[in-house]
Amino acid sequence: MAMSPSAMAPTPDCMTNLLNLSDCLTYVEAGSNLTKPDKPCCPELAGLVESSPQCLCYLMDKNATANYGIDIDMERALKLPNVCHVKTP
């Protein structure tokens, strides 16, 4: 049984969450040579997973991030939870 749009939970503002992960961008952007993310990145990622885990899919959408001029290296981005020791759903 499908839910009507009005019955669905409100969508979190995933763009705001992307901005909150700005300390991770230097690690996950295409061409980065960093071996580990900036120190604030992992707590920011953990906070996102706790508060809005559904935004992870949005943030991994290369087209969505490219619309904002952000070129994400998907391989590095997908490894970020392991690098940060953050368990994702």
Residue 5 belongs to a domain: no
pTM score? 0.77
What is the extent of the structural domain holding 47? Answer: 14-84
CATH code, domain with 24: 1.10.110
Residue 68 belongs to a domain: yes
Segment 25-39 mean pLDDT? 93
In terms of phi and psi (left: phi > 0; alpha: psi -120 to 50; beta: otherwise), the region of 19 is: alpha
For a pLDDT cut of 70, what percent of the chain falls above it? 85
Task: State the chain's mean pLDDT as an integer.
Answer: 82
For a pLDDT cut of 90, what percent of the chain falls above it? 44
Two structure tokens written together for 52: 């809005």
Neighbours of 58 (CB within 10 A): 16
Residue 2 belongs to a domain: no
pLDDT at position 5: 45
* pLDDT tens digits along 44-86: 999 999 998 888 887 777 677 777 788 889 999 999 999 999 9
